[in-house]
Amino acid sequence: MSIGISPSHVCLASLWREANKITVTALDKVTYQPPQLTNVLHELAARWGFCTHPPCVLVMPTSTYQLVRVEVPRDLNTAGISDLVTEQLQAKLTFDLSRVIFDFFEPPDYLNPDYSRWIYVVVTEKALIQNYTRPIVAAGFNLQAVDIPEMALRNLLALSPIYSENQGILWLDDYRSILILTHKQMICSIEFIALGRQHLLQNMPEQIPTLISTLEQSIYQYMQHFNLPRISQLMIAPVVDDLPTLPHCLSQALHIPSQPLVLNQWVRTENLSFPLTSADYFLVLGAALREEDDAMDCACEEEA
Best CA proximity match to 132, nearest among 9, 262, 282: 9
Inform me whether the pLDDT recorded for 280 exceeds 70.
Answer: yes
Best CA proximity match to 140, nearest among 55, 30, 57: 55
Please, which pLDDT band fits residue 111 given cuts at 50, 70 and 90?
Answer: low
222-267 tens-digit pLDDT: 999 999 999 999 999 987 788 999 999 999 999 999 999 887 777 7
Spell out a b/e string for 55-86, using b for 16 or more CB atoms within 10 Å of the CB, else e: ebbbbbbeebbbbbbbebeeeeeeeebeeebe
Q: What's the confidence (pLDDT) of residue 245? A: 94
| Cβ 244 vs Cβ 260: under 8 Å | no
Which residues have C-beta within 8 Å of that of residue 34, sequence separation ≥ 6? Answer: 7
- The pTM (predicted TM-score) of the whole model is 0.88
1-42 tens-digit pLDDT: 899 998 889 999 998 877 667 888 888 999 998 889 999 999
Domains and CATH numbers, the chain: 2-61+128-148+269-288 (3.30.420.40), 63-126 (3.30.1490), 161-260 (3.30.420.40)
Question: Which whole number is the average pLDDT over 81-99?
Answer: 75
Averaged confidence pLDDT in the chain: 85
Q: What's the confidence (pLDDT) of residue 98? A: 73
How far is Cα 234 from Cα 240, in angstroms, rounded to an integer?
14
Question: Of the segments 47-51, 114-118, 221-225, 258-262, which one has the largest average pLDDT value?
Answer: 221-225
